[in-house]
Structures are given as structure tokens and as C-alpha cells.
Structure 1
Amino acid sequence: MKTLLAALFLSASAVATAGAQTSAPATLPQPPVAAKKPHEVKTPFGAVRQDEYYWLRDDTRKNPEMLAYLTAENAYADRMLAPARPLAETLYRETIGRIKQDDSTVPSRTRGYLYYARFDTGANYTILARKADSGGTEEILLDQPKMAEGKGFFQIGDWEVSMDNRYLAYAEDTVGRRQYTLRIKDLKTGALLPDTIGNMDGGAVWSADGRTLFYVDKDPVTLLSKRIKAHVIGTPASSDRVVYEEKDDSFYIGVGRTSDDKFICIVMESTVSNEARCAPAADPTRFTLLAPREREFKYSADHVGNRWIIRTNWNAKNYKLMSVGDGNAARGRAAWKDLVPHSDTVFIENFQPFTGFLAIEERAGGNKRVRILTDAGKSSPVQADEPAYAMSLSGNSEVDTPWVRYTYDSLVTPTTTYETNVKTGERRTLKVQPVPGYDPSRYVTERVWATARDGTRIPVSLVYAKGFRKDGSAALFQQAYGSYGSSTDPRFSPVNPSLLDRGMVYAIAHIRGGQEMGRGWYDDGHLLNKKNSFTDFIDVTRYLVDQGYARKGRVAAMGGSAGGLLMGAVANMAPQDYGVIVAQVPFVDVVTTMLDASIPLTTNEYDEWGNPADKRYYDYMLSYSPYDNVTAQAYPALYVGTGLWDSQVQYYEPAKWVARLRARKTGNNPLVFRVNMEAGHGGKSGRFERYRQQSEWMAFALTTLKVD
């Protein structure tokens, strides 16, 4: 391997081969040159594409030639980023200086205990603890700093305490591939039980007697959630009973408990359909179907008292709430009754039932808010004073209470946790996230509306320092996601003041493909409408430049995962509009990935992107796939990041994209590729590590845009 690595470095420092980008000045290091090896990618209907970098795929992640190439890319990135390293360190110090190091969460009460997580000063991970709500000493459940010692990656996926408060089940990942190991701790003795279950999803649910755990078993190759199994404490994992097995590979499955703890529910969900099967937690032997799956029919259900509350799109594009009593639940949706009707302008995103009322998360005008609806029919939206904000229900672990807890964020306002009393109207502040040295009065947030090329008005959330002048000279940092119906809310970040204090504007483009403006917003940004996401982003940039928020070309764009697909498409379609593009764990090889059902998550994604086995979808996806549309043109400066163990977007997608960009792009703008060899989709674990990684690409962007 050393010989191969040395040879690769020699080729990297040699003159670029014919067809590669224009040579950079002699003083700059030369990038690695990936070998080209002929490979055909075929479709079921006969189309053939050449993929000269397909060899970079190695599912074992042990191929010496592939690892040498990634190592060389990291070495090249180190050299290219060296001039920006002092700024990166400054940005990192500024960011962590705004983080209260010995912080803790607001305690949440569950079955007589107050649960919370706390950071010790300097720690990367929290200590999970509880106290009896009647008083007493702290009981440490998970000492994550100690558990993470000596590990390159560490993450607790989820944890669950048994109904009798005796046992703690938790899921642990030490690779970053989201293949968790389930462990059980006896909270009475503090000892770990010998019970260990591997290759499971991130969470588990206890039966009412605290002796049986229901968990999701994953396919070891595709990483699809395939089976719900039941594990009885003290028995070997090999004897775990299969409770449910999903045959349709387009569905994810999960297991959870209703808000009142009375039922355990198995949920199967695809992009356009789902179903739920529930059993009493006291006797989880027979799971009853609430409503059968049907294409374009979605619902989710929760239970409190003697009724089920159901959120559904049944004759309701923006969703509505319905209810059914326990005695009629077996009749299916024929027995469901309208509770909150459909609205053309308000999208119901989530809800939580309490005894005597409902708390509803809904979207209106691009903002996410909370509304309270009593059983008597009184409706009360929670008010906000800023033009762009986000509210979320949070920490409501018990239903027999008049208090509803929620968080409030904006690009200016740090996360604030409130609770309001439904009976009295009293509101109290439980916590304002401390941000040392930060003064919100120094910043301004705005909501503007950019007109897309087809006439659609796109909401944009902005923040900048007070006194900012729209004279067309500033630098802009623009971010978006725009896929899966996932909305990008304007939430506070301790990172942003470092941009704003340097005169930059920060913008979130709420492009189609999310659900900021309702379900139709998503429908207009996926499948055969996917290009709307890309053109929306570009049109937002041009609008902000035209309005004087930034100078043309002095714009940094950033997106990750499916947002990385957005970055790849934008780089191909409008490279002249951006000075720098940051693409983290980008999904850029759309067609090849979607043709291969063995790649993790592919089959779940057919209703998001289309199945390229169908020529209509193949042609459309091929027309925007970033990897397939790299051309001989001048691209902006690019920072691309990936994780070798990524389970969501495999490392070889960005690796191939970078290799092809290096071979075809013209000009001298830098392209750096940072490969995290010990992490997956979310990068390195730990609260400070992610800010250190973020500071690297931020410094690259600021240096490129000449931001002091």
C-alpha cells in the first residue's frame, strides 16, 4: 500500500493528463489524478453509460488502490487549505466561545423521574441522568464521555427506560454507519446485562411488564429496516421472535409507543403510503391493522384516553386530523370522523394529544407554529413577533397535564423553551439557550419573497448585522435542502454571528421539494418536477443580488446530502453565479445509484426520485444528475466532504464526482475533497468536532470570497 500511495502522489504532482483541467500555477500543489477504468452501466431497457470511475466503489472499504486515492485527496486538501487554517481556527474559537460548556437540557418528567442531559466543561458528549421528582441525588444512566473514550466515532441512537423504571435499553454506534448495537443496563445494580443485539435500527420499545423489547432488525447489505423482532431479557438474540416482516423494499418500518403508553405500534412508511399495526403494551402479542396501505394514502395515529387521533391526507392534500373511538377502531377509516378540517393555506405537520386537548404543529406563510385545540373546540395559535421563525413541540412526555412545552427559534433568537397552561393561559420561560457574548439586538432577520422563473414566489429567510447596507457589495452565504418534504427552518446557530460580524448576509432559500408552503410545495419539487428545486435556488440567488444583498459571484452556496445534489446541479447549471460551493455528503450519482437495488436505501427512494428502470424517469434523472452532467466549463471553487462509512450517501458518489470534475473542468478555481475516514453521514461525532469540521469549509468559503 505504501508503494501504491507513493505512486499516486507522484501522479498527483505530475502534469495533468490530456483532457484534464487547465494547469494551476506552479506554486500550487497538483491534485491527485484518479485512474480511468472502462465500465458500462446498463439499464433494463438497454441504455448504456460509461462510468470510468466506477472502480472507486468498494463495499468492503478495503481496496488498497481506492484507499490510497482517498488518502491522497486528504493530503491534497491539507495542503490547499493550509493558508486558511488560521482563519478556520479563529472561526472555531469564536463558535465554541458562544457555547455554554457546562450546559444541560430542561428536565422532562416521566413516571416519577426527571430526565435530562448535561455537558461537563470541555466534554464532547453529554451525560444522561435522572433524579426522582420528589428529590434525591442524581443517577447517571449513560456516561457518554467515558463510553466514547478511545473510539474514533461514538453515538447513542436512542434510549428507552422500561415502564417499571428498572431497565435502560440503548442503541450504540461506534462506526458511523447507523448499524446500531442494542444494550441493556440494569438501573438497580448499574450492571450491563449480557443481552446484546447487533445490526439494529436506532431505537427500541419496552412492553408494559419491562421484560420484552421490540426493535427493528436491518438487512446487513441494503441496511433497509426489514423486521420487527421481540427480545426477552435473559434469552439469546438468536431466539428473538419475528413479530413482523416487511416484504416491500420501498417501505421503511419502525416501532414506537403511543403518547399514553397504552399501545405499541409498528409503522410501515414509504414516500406515498403507510400503515400502522398496534397492540396493547400490556399484551403485545396481536397487532391490529388500523388502516391498510393504499398508494397516495398516508396517515399517522396516536392514542389518548379512549380514542385514536389520526393525521391523514385522505381527501386532504395539506392533511387534516380525524378521530375514532376505541370501540370503532377495528372498522378502519370508514369509522374515522373529521376533527380538524383540511385547509388550502395551512399544512398540518404534526400533533400531540393530551387529556382534554391537542397540540398541533402547522405551517403557514412559510413559518412553523404551534396551535392548541381543546376538546371543547377552542383554538388558540401561539403568537410570534418575528417575520421568520420556527416553533416545535418538545419534551411533552406525559399527557395528563395542562402544560404544553415547545421551543421557539429564529435566525436572531437563540432556542427558547416555553410552556403554556391550556387552562389558565399562563406562559412561562423554562430556558433561553445561553450564548456567551451574543447580543441579539445587533442583528436583523427578514422574510423576503423571490420570484422564480415560472412565477412562483419563494420564501427566503435572511439575517444580517444591524447597519447593513444593501449596496450590492456584500458577500452572501445561501443554504437550502429541498427534498423529501423536509423543511429547512430558520433556527439559531452559534456559527452565524461569525459570518454576520464580517459583513456577510446569511440566507435560507425555502425551495420547492420541502414542505414550508404545504404538501404541494413538495409535489412541485420531486420526481418529474425535481428541477424546480434547482432553478428555485438559482433564482433566489439572482433575486438577492438584484436587490443589493450581495454582489454577483460573491455568493457561497451550501447543501448536504440531498442538498448536496442541489449543489451539484447548481454547479452545472449556473456556475457563474457562485464564488464557492460547499457540498457535504452529496447525492450526486443519481442514476447509477437508483439503478442498483443493493445500495442502501435505493428501493425506498423510487417515489422520491423515480425508478430509472422506467425510461421516462431515466431520461429525466440523467438530465440533471450532477455526475452525468459535468462538462468542460469553469466551475466555482468547490469544497466536497464525505464519510467513508456513510450509510445514506455512499462515499464513492462524491469521490467519483470529484474525479470527473478534476478531469473535465476548466480554469484554476480550487477543488478540495475532504474524506472523513472514521465517520458516516453526519461526520465526526461530538459537539465540538462538528464545529471544527464546519470551520474548515467556512474558512475556505470566506477566503475564496475575500471576506476579512
Structure 2
Amino acid sequence: MRAILTLLTLAIMTTTSNAASLPTPPDVARKPHTVKAPFGAERSDEYYWLRDDTRKNPEMLAYLNAENAYVDAMMHRLKPVEDRLYDEIVGRIKQDDSSVPFRHKGYWYYSRFEAGKDYPVHARRRDAAGVTALSIQQANDAADFKDEQVLLDVNALASGKDYYSVGVYEVSQDNRLLAYADDAVGRRQYVIRFKNLETGEIYPEAIEGASADIVWADDNRTVFYIENDPETLLTKRVKKHVLGTPVAQDPVVYEEEDDSFYMGLDRTRDDRFICISMSSTVSDEMRCAPAADPKDFFVFAPRERDVEYSADHYGGRWVIRTNENGAKNFKVMTADTETRERKAWKPWIETSDDVFIDGFELFRDFTVIAERSDGLERLRVLKADGAQEYVKADEPAYSMGLSTNAEPESEWLRYTYTSLTTPTTTYEVNTRTNERNLLKQQPVIGYDASKYVTERVWATARDGTRIPVSLVYRRGFKKDGTAALLQYGYGSYGASMDPGFNLPVVSLLDRGVVYAIAHIRGGEEMGRRWYEAGKLFNKKNTFTDFIDVTDVLVKEGYAAKDRVAAYGGSAGGLLMGAISNMAPDKYRLILSQVPFVDVVTTMLDPTIPLTTNEYDEWGNPGKKDFYDYMLTYSPYDNLSKQAYPAMFVGTGLWDSQVQYWEPAKYVARLRDLDTSNNPILFRTNMDAGHGGKSGRFRRYRELAEMYAFALDQLGVADTTTHAK
């Protein structure tokens, strides 16, 4: 067993074209450990000791640092490519950009960036005659901030910190106070703070260990927040804080006893109610109280297994999206304000086998239904007179969704539109006259959409299921089976990976790479059944779908069979681990970020964040049938002595979603078993969590490094001369 290479040794080793001079990858000691299941099953885990909840074990930290130094050494030759990629990506960004302002309670709210700075400035301007979203954008573009009130300058708050994030901020009902939640570690354990917007004073009181959920009551002194469990990070208790009183004495409003439920807080559309939402994978419950006097929270409808619902209140009634009584693709119901049981709900929009109801937005004169059909999003406008129409799209593969519509009395609907070739665009359409205004398109410096082509194709999986695939490539591309391909996938939690504009990917397209999104089962692109066909005992459909998409794209000439890279993160990292075990010969390269690769061990441990919430996603391996099935695909458990593709694996030391030790253990065991000479790189961000480093530029440095490695492994020349 090789000793861990010292940082000094690795630092002086550089990569050259001579393979003999490549640095030796670090290794780490095996230490016997047995993982036991409640029913008696046992598994050996020789790298279990790499888990350290305190993140202070010197031996573990030395290993992670050695891996980072190994990446530095291996990437030394490609540093010029990384720098060019980074400069290209950042060079497309309008550095002093701002969001589209929206009006709420007499103010226009927006966020803006300043050139060269990593974090946003959150601000607002008073409403007045002639003040519009467009006039504010023009003022921001001209650096005219004389009428602006800064709510939070995140650059100033982040100064001197390796990581910083504002998870949420909320203005009180009287516009005078601000509550915000920040995280200086990356573990999504927030501290809630308060600011007087009239004086600029930051109040001394701070609420630690909270989630990013804050709701003000109407008295402008009381806030409701959610306290996390310090170990599992689960949302456990809703508490009430009154400004000026000791945080330690904050009373508990509601405590969730079932660890399979998440909690959230919000106000209804009409601002009349404050609601606590409890959600598991398969059921929901809401408790609401009048915002004017939120003393007693009533149960809107009691939880029931396999019954999901969400409700909003406006116009003197409740509107409910639910899957009750077998409505797989959901339906919409209504109920009187005083309704407290499901049997009193009244049908409005029936369920459909072909259309998935994703959500809705309530307005005074119309309602907007967000739907999915044939794997694509659409918005349906239902008018008070019974008429309906769809918001139009012009491309074969796109993403469309509701934007911020803060004023329900408006006759204007705001929505966003994007595709793999169209930067994110915000429109408003008048639902009475059909007049449409372009409010903003994401500025992309030097980008010409006419030089790129997006396409939607269908790949037939091994069981006959048709899988939608979104593609983008440089105009002039020839389907001759010689190109390099980067195929992305996720396929879990019912999360749909819609084809939106990806600014960094342009650098790959300009070098001749084809980019594809495989809309595999486990997502919800094709409705609820699509999700259910890729979870629990159907989970392996997710993996085989991805592999089958690869086969079809290669067969159809979109890529050379030896120039395919696969990319996924988090649960998509599980996908990467599974396909590299199942079909290593089909991929030249695997890119895996914060990967969930130790499924069985993690799901056996209820102290790890997310575990108990996800029994209905993956199964509970404390039960033998789930254990046996999960063991057939868990990437860490299925590593074997075979030739694996080249890999770039990334994680964050402070990740609360997928703990760092999962990829650390995975890479260590992979190195023991891999029979190929392909490089395996493992990068740990020592000051970051699940989302990587904070700030808008630093994450692109990480991505540029991974892209440089990918281009090298795929044999793609670092030139964009054909793109001029």
C-alpha cells in the first residue's frame, strides 16, 4: 500500500507529454470496518474511517489535500486551456448586469451586480409616475443609483469570508424592516438577522441553526422561522420570534415528529394566511393561521399517505393542486375559505393522462396553469369568462415558466423563456389585449444564437420506452459519427432537467462538441408516471435509459463511440457511478460532481442529513427487500476489477446534501480496482458545500478546470477558429 504522497512532493510534480513522468496518485490506508443492517446483513467498508463529522481528522484532511495536490499536478499541463476557458466563459458575462425589477407594496425590487465583484447588491426603488421595470433597468445600465435604496450589499457582507451566501431575505409588511438568512460555511445552516431599512442598523439579535424560511406577521414585529436539527439538519420546529425579545425564549409553534417530512413557510397569494407546509416524497400537510393574528394554526387537510397537495388562497377561496383519488398527473380543486377537510373540495381542472399539472398562479381576472406535455413545459391561461389560450413557443426544445408575478390584480403575466440556443428571456403579456413586451434577455457578450442549432430527438430504451433528448451543436455540424459528445442527466426526485441556455457550454460547442440532455425516467418531464418509473424498485430504469440514449446518439452519428463523456451531479452523480459500473466501455470520460455514490450505507444511517426524508425515493435499506435491490446498483458497492473511464470527481468538504466522504471513499476504492491507465481526478473544495464555492465567478474557475480535463480526454483541439 502506497503512503499518501506529501503535498510538497505533489506540488513539484508536473505533467508532461511523457507518461513516465506523470505523478503517482495518492492512496490511503484501508481500515477494517463492518456496516450492519438491522436485519443482520453485513458489508465490509475499508474506507469508512474517512467519515469525520467534525471535518478535523488530520489523516483524513491530509488525504483530501493530497488528492487536491494531485489534481494540481495532473492539470498543470492544461492550465493554459483552463485559463482560456475561464476567460471565455467570464467574458460572456455582462458584469454590471441586473435582474428584471418587480413591483410590490409601493417599491420596485431587483438585484444587480457590479463589475468585478462576486456577489449581488439587493436593492429597491420607490414606485412613482413614470417608473417602470424598463426605466429602472435603463438607470441601472447607466449606473444611476441616486434613487436606489440598498437592502443588502452581499459583497460587503462576504468580505473576508471563504464562503458566503444569503439564502433568503424578506421585507416586513410596512416596508421598514428586513429579515435575512446567511450562511458562512456552505452547510445550509443559516443565521437569521434583522436590519432597520430606515436607519441601516443591523440589530444585535441573531437566530442560529435555521433554514432559509422567514415569514413576517402583519404586526411587523413578529417573524416565523424554522429551526433545524443540529445533527441531521432536518427542518424540525417552527418558532416565533418577536423583535427585542431573547431568541432563547422563542416559543415553538409547531414541531414535526415524522423525520420523513420537510417543512416550509409562506404567505398565501392574498397575504391573508401564513402557512406551514409539511412535505414528504408521497404526502403533504398544510397548517395555516391568519397573518393578522397568527396564534392558532389550523390543519388545512390532514396528511394521508400517497395524497399530495398544495393550496393557495385568493379571491375568497382556496385553490388546491392534488393527486388525490388516483390523479397521477394532478388536478386542481377549489374550496371555501372555512374548509378544513378534503371531502369538501370541489373539482375545477380534471386530471389527464397526457398533461402533467406542475403548478398554478392566481390572478384577479385569470389563472395560469403550468403544465408539461410530451416532455415540454407550457403555460395555459384560463380567463374568467371560460376562455383559455397557451403562451406560444417557437423552438422544438425549450423551457418556459412563470416569472415573478407579485401583483395578482395585474392583467399582465410575466414569464420566462429559454432554450439551449436562446438566453433566458423575460416577457410580459397582456392577457386582455395579447400585447407582449420583452422585458429583458440575458446579455451574453459575443454570442450569436444563429450560429447554433437545437434539436429534440427520441431514443428508444431497451424496454421500448421512448426517451426525449434535447441536443445543441454548432451550425454546420455533420452527423458523421466523428464528434465528441457531452451527455448530461439527472433522473431523480421528479426533478425535470429542462433545456435552458447554458452559458459555459458555448465554449464546448465552439470547439465542435455536441451537448445533449437525456430526459430519463426518474424525472418528471413526461409526467408523474415518468418519475415513478425511475424510483424505488424501478430505479435502474434511470441508468439503463441513460446508457440507451448514448447508444442511440452514437448510432445516429451524433458522436464517435470512443468520444462520449457523461456528466451528472448529486443524484446525477449516482447516475454517473451506476453507468460507469454497468457500461464502462461506452464512455471515454465521466464527470461527477458531489455524487451520491454510497447509497446503502448512507440510507442506513438516519443521522445523516436527508436520509429519513428520502425513504420513499430510494427505499429504506433497513428492510431486506429494499436493501437487496439498492445493493444491486449502489456505485460504491458495485465497483469491480475492470477498466473504468477517465474520471473527474468533485465534492465540497462542508456539503450537507451529499457528505464529502461518499466520493472520497468511492475514489479510494475505485483506484484499488481500476485496471485501466485512465486518470482519476478527485477535487475537494475545502471551504464549500453542495453548491460549490460561493460567488458568481469562482464557480466558473472550477468548471473551466473540469472542461479542460474533458477536452483533453476527448481529444478536442483547444481552438475556436472555426467559430469566428
State the TM-score, normalizing by the size of structure 1: 0.96
1:388 CA displacement: 0.5
- Distance in 2 separating the partners of 1:578 and 1:142: 46
Deviations 1:669-696 (A, max 9, x none): 0000000000000000011111111111
Q: Does 1:324 align with 2:318?
A: no
Structure 1 residues 458 and 229 mapped into 2: Cα distance closer, same or farther (>3 Å)? same
- Distance in 2 separating the partners of 1:390 and 1:183: 36
- Distance in 2 separating the partners of 1:82 and 1:673: 15
Tell me, what secondary structure is at the counterpart of 1:673? strand
- Distance in 1 separating the partners of 2:242 and 2:663: 42
- Distance in 2 separating the partners of 1:335 and 1:90: 62
Q: Does 1:351 align with 2:363?
A: no
Q: Does 1:107 align with 2:117?
A: no
- Distance in 2 separating the partners of 1:412 and 1:144: 31
Alignment match of 1:572 (pick from 553, 577, 581): 581
The residue identity in structure 1 corresponding to 2:204 is P
- Distance in 2 separating the partners of 1:356 and 1:277: 27
| Alignment match, 1:526 | 535
Question: RMSD of the TM alignment (CA)?
Answer: 1.5
Q: Does 1:43 align with 2:54?
A: no
Structure 1 residues 552 and 5 mapped into 2: Cα distance closer, same or farther (>3 Å)? closer
1:90-105 equivalences in 2 (<5 Å): 90-105=84-99
- Distance in 1 separating the partners of 2:687 and 2:615: 30
1:352 CA displacement: 1.0
- Distance in 1 separating the partners of 2:206 and 2:12: 49
Alignment match of 2:26 (pick from 26, 32, 53): 32
- Distance in 2 separating the partners of 1:10 and 1:51: 29
The residue identity in structure 2 corresponding to 1:266 is I
Alignment match of 1:165 (pick from 170, 175, 183): 175
Alignment match of 2:637 (pick from 616, 622, 628): 628
Q: Kindly indicate whether the alpha-carbon contact (under 8 Å) linking 2:11 and 2:73 is maintained by their aligned counterparts in 1.
A: no
Q: Does 1:252 align with 2:262?
A: yes
Alignment match of 1:275 (pick from 285, 295, 299): 285
Alignment match of 1:429 (pick from 404, 423, 438): 438
Q: Kindly indicate whether the alpha-carbon contact (under 8 Å) linking 1:298 and 1:312 is maintained by their aligned counterparts in 2.
A: yes
| Alignment match, 1:209 | 219
| Alignment match, 1:21 | none
- Distance in 1 separating the partners of 2:676 and 2:309: 51
1:338 CA displacement: 1.1
| Alignment match, 1:197 | 207
Deviations 1:415-448 (A, max 9, x none): 1100111122211111111111100011110000
| Alignment match, 1:286 | 296
- Distance in 2 separating the partners of 1:242 and 1:106: 38
Tell me, what secondary structure is at the counterpart of 1:444? strand
1:13 CA displacement: 12
Q: Does 1:611 align with 2:620?
A: yes
1:26 CA displacement: 3.1
| Alignment match, 2:461 | 452
- Distance in 1 separating the partners of 2:5 and 2:298: 62
Q: Kindly indicate whether the alpha-carbon contact (under 8 Å) linking 1:12 and 1:31 is maintained by their aligned counterparts in 2.
A: no
1:12 CA displacement: 12
Alignment match of 1:299 (pick from 291, 301, 309): 309
Q: Kindly indicate whether the alpha-carbon contact (under 8 Å) linking 1:170 and 1:184 is maintained by their aligned counterparts in 2.
A: yes
- What percent identity do the matched residue pairs reach? 63
Alignment match of 1:120 (pick from 114, 123, 137): 114
| Alignment match, 2:722 | none
- Distance in 2 separating the partners of 1:481 and 1:6: 34
Q: Does 1:234 align with 2:244?
A: yes
- Distance in 2 separating the partners of 1:8 and 1:414: 42
- Distance in 1 separating the partners of 2:354 and 2:174: 44
Deviations 1:18-52 (A, max 9, x none): xxxxxx95311011111000000001111100000
Alignment match of 1:705 (pick from 704, 707, 714): 714
| Alignment match, 2:606 | 597
Alignment match of 2:492 (pick from 483, 489, 501): 483
| Alignment match, 2:664 | 655
Q: Does 1:78 align with 2:72?
A: yes
- Distance in 2 separating the partners of 1:12 and 1:175: 27
Tell me, what secondary structure is at the counterpart of 2:302? coil
Q: Kindly indicate whether the alpha-carbon contact (under 8 Å) linking 2:4 and 2:28 is maintained by their aligned counterparts in 1.
A: no
1:663 CA displacement: 0.7
The residue identity in structure 1 corresponding to 2:699 is R
The residue identity in structure 1 corresponding to 2:557 is G
In structure 1, stretches of 5+ residues that fail to align are: 15-23
Q: Kindly indicate whether the alpha-carbon contact (under 8 Å) linking 2:5 and 2:26 is maintained by their aligned counterparts in 1.
A: no
Q: Kindly indicate whether the alpha-carbon contact (under 8 Å) linking 1:372 and 1:381 is maintained by their aligned counterparts in 2.
A: yes
- Distance in 2 separating the partners of 1:12 and 1:465: 38
In structure 2, stretches of 5+ residues that fail to align are: 132-145, 718-724
Q: Kindly indicate whether the alpha-carbon contact (under 8 Å) linking 1:9 and 1:72 is maintained by their aligned counterparts in 2.
A: no
- Distance in 2 separating the partners of 1:338 and 1:608: 29
Structure 1 window deviating more from structure 2 (147-156 vs 420-429): it is 420-429
1:375 CA displacement: 2.7
Q: Kindly indicate whether the alpha-carbon contact (under 8 Å) linking 1:157 and 1:170 is maintained by their aligned counterparts in 2.
A: yes
- Distance in 1 separating the partners of 2:9 and 2:564: 35
State the TM-score, normalizing by the size of structure 2: 0.94
Tell me, what secondary structure is at the counterpart of 1:698? helix
- Distance in 1 separating the partners of 2:199 and 2:368: 38
| Alignment match, 1:19 | none
The residue identity in structure 2 corresponding to 1:187 is L
1:226 CA displacement: 0.2
Deviations 1:478-520 (A, max 9, x none): 0011000000010001112111111111000000000000000
Q: Kindly indicate whether the alpha-carbon contact (under 8 Å) linking 2:4 and 2:27 is maintained by their aligned counterparts in 1.
A: no
1:203 CA displacement: 2.0
| Alignment match, 2:52 | 58
Q: Which has the higher contact order (CA 8 A, sep 6+)?
A: 1
1:583 CA displacement: 0.5
Alignment match of 1:554 (pick from 524, 545, 563): 563
Tell me, what secondary structure is at the counterpart of 1:593? helix
- Distance in 2 separating the partners of 1:340 and 1:688: 44
Tell me, what secondary structure is at the counterpart of 1:194? coil
The residue identity in structure 1 corresponding to 2:516 is A
- Distance in 1 separating the partners of 2:382 and 2:79: 53
The residue identity in structure 2 corresponding to 1:418 is Y
Deviations 1:359-413 (A, max 9, x none): 1111111111111112322111111110011111111112111111110000000
Q: Does 1:69 align with 2:78?
A: no
Q: Kindly indicate whether the alpha-carbon contact (under 8 Å) linking 1:476 and 1:507 is maintained by their aligned counterparts in 2.
A: yes
| Alignment match, 2:516 | 507
Structure 1 window deviating more from structure 2 (601-610 vs 367-376): it is 367-376
Deviations 1:307-336 (A, max 9, x none): 011000013100011111214x12x11111
Tell me, what secondary structure is at the counterpart of 2:254? strand
- Distance in 1 separating the partners of 2:218 and 2:118: 34
Structure 1 window deviating more from structure 2 (415-424 vs 218-227): it is 415-424
Tell me, what secondary structure is at the counterpart of 1:26? helix
The residue identity in structure 2 corresponding to 1:270 is S
1:259 CA displacement: 1.4
Q: Number of paired residues?
A: 694
